[in-house]
Amino acid sequence: MAVGEGTWLVMGLLIALPFLLLALIGILWTVAYPLMLIWAVLFSSKKLDRQIASTTSREASLRESLGRDPLTTIDGGYRTDITSCGIVWTGVVFGPSHWHLLIGFLNNMIGGSIDIFQKVVSAGRAEAMQRLRESAIDNGWDDVINVRIDTSDMAPQGGQGGIKAVEVFAYGTGVKYG
């Protein structure tokens, strides 16, 4: 027979390889997850505060250099000397850490407002708006009119485990004054 024992062994290994890889990932996840969670408990709140501070300072310095906030929600703007326009958009996927999820879960059982989620989503939204300002200025626009902000869930109901995050999507029309 042409098919030797060696060939069968190789074929068997090839079939088993994906399962072995999955098992390896499973083992690594089981070992790594508690460590990551401890890391998150210790540092995720600091990370969030740092993110908020960075967004706020960038926003403040941009506002100071322009003397105004370039974003408005007015449709059509308020000035008549617009020479060119075009769409600008930006999106940010932002999620709470698993430590924040745990705090939120406990808070949810007591009821009332869940401040930690509000803080996380606000941080994401502020970041998206700041990026919209920056991308508008980088593209040569003076202002952004008719700004709309959408927030959509990246982890829909029924999805087991997985990612817990929201996507904040901000868009508007960049305008240039003559």
Partner 1 sequence: MEQMVQGILVVNTETIPGMMITETLGVVSGSTVRAKNIGRDITQGLRNIMGGELVKYTELLEESRQEAIGRMVADAMSRGATAIVNVRFATSAVTAGAAELFAYGTAVKTE
Considering the rule CB under 8 A, would residue 124 count as an interface residue with partner 1? yes
Among positions 84, 105, 106, 115, the unique one binding partner 1 when judged by CB under 8 A: 84
- 152: contact with partner 1 by CB under 8 A: yes
Q: Which of 34, 51, 53 is nearest to 96 (CA)?
A: 51
Give the β-pairing of 166-177 and 143-153: antiparallel
Please, which of residues 32-61 interact with partner 1 by CB under 8 A?
A: 32-33, 36-37, 39-40, 43-44, 47-48, 51
- Choices 8-16, 57-65, 106-114, 146-154 (CB under 8 A): range interacting with partner 1: 146-154
Number of Cβ within a 10 Å radius of residue 40: 18
- Report the residue from 16, 86, 106, 118 that binds partner 1 according to the rule CB under 8 A: 86
Q: Whole-angstrom Cα distance, residue 29 to residue 32?
A: 5
Minimum CB distance to partner 1 smaller for 13 or for 32: 32
Nearby residues of 147 by Cβ (< 8 Å), 6 or more positions away: 71, 72, 73, 129, 132, 170, 171, 172
Q: With contact defined as beta carbons under 8 Å apart, do 173 and 88 qualify?
A: yes
Rounded Cα gap, residues 149 and 174, in angstroms: 15
Q: Verify binding: residue 150, partner 1, rule CB under 8 A.
A: yes
What is the contact surface with partner 1 in residues (CB under 8 A)? 25, 32-33, 36-37, 39-40, 43-44, 47-48, 51, 75-77, 80, 82-100, 120, 124, 127, 139-141, 145-146, 148, 150, 152-156, 158-160, 162-165, 167, 169, 171-176
